[in-house]
Chains A and B, each alone.
Chain A
Amino acid sequence: DAGVIQSPRHEVTEMGQEVTLRCKPISGHNSLFWYRQTMMRGLELLIYFNNNVPIDDSGMPEDRFSAKMPNASFSTLKIQPSEPRDSAVYFCASSRRTVDTQYFGPGTRLTVL
């Protein structure tokens, strides 16, 4: 298996622009997680899905952030409009069940100028 796939790997954009991050989970995994990692705050869970349904989005910082999972093999995290404080590495992870070991993608490094 190719593991969790994320795209793009790097994104540089200007403040106010829309940013879309993409994730393909491991086939057969029913749970998908979006995390954000910064030096100051460490790794934070933004939202997670189970069987394509959002279960907990309490970690989403504000309405500018939205996430979708239209099918079992694809998810997006969108930021609109983006701000410099959104600069971070965004990770997607998947697991067979919510309580099982999570497998992480390589991350998307986002820089908002």
Chain B
Amino acid sequence: KQEVTQIPAALSVPEGENLVLNCSFTDSAIYNLQWFRQDPGKGLTSLLLIQSSQREQTSGRLNASLDKSSGRSTLYIAASQPGDSATYLCAVRPGDDKIIFGKGTRLHILP
């Protein structure tokens, strides 16, 4: 059974620093992996989607990497800003169409 783990559960970082969020999954047979952002009281917003054949995806200050063989993905945020404060969730799609979410990392950027 596929399990997705995100450690740490919470992270505080001074504004301007670069940071890395981690995601690990137990079964390397995945279709794709996504990173989502969730603001308090809101739904999820997709940030980046990496297909199983890809190694990374970039969008602005965000870069997501995927290493299927080791069951790991990272989300790199450059030059962090207070507006980046949110919960970031990693989600893995195995071959059967259902997404499996991690519990997220709650990120707080200190002004």
Q: List chain A positions with a Cβ less than 8 A from chain B.
A: 4, 42-45, 48, 55-56, 91, 93, 98-99, 101-107
Contact = CB atoms under 8 A, between A and B. Distances in A.
Contacts of B101: 42-44
B23 interface: no
A42 B99 contact: no
Interface in B93-107: 93, 97-99, 101-104
Nearest to B93: A99
A104 B99 contact: no
Contacts of A107: 41-43
B43 A104 contact: yes
Interface in B26-60: 31-32, 34, 41-46, 49
23 contacts: A42-B102, A42-B104, A43-B44, A45-B98, A45-B99, A48-B98, A55-B97, A56-B98, A91-B44, A93-B43, A98-B97, A99-B32, A99-B93, A101-B46, A101-B49, A102-B44, A102-B46, A104-B43, A104-B45, A106-B41, A106-B42, A106-B43, A107-B42
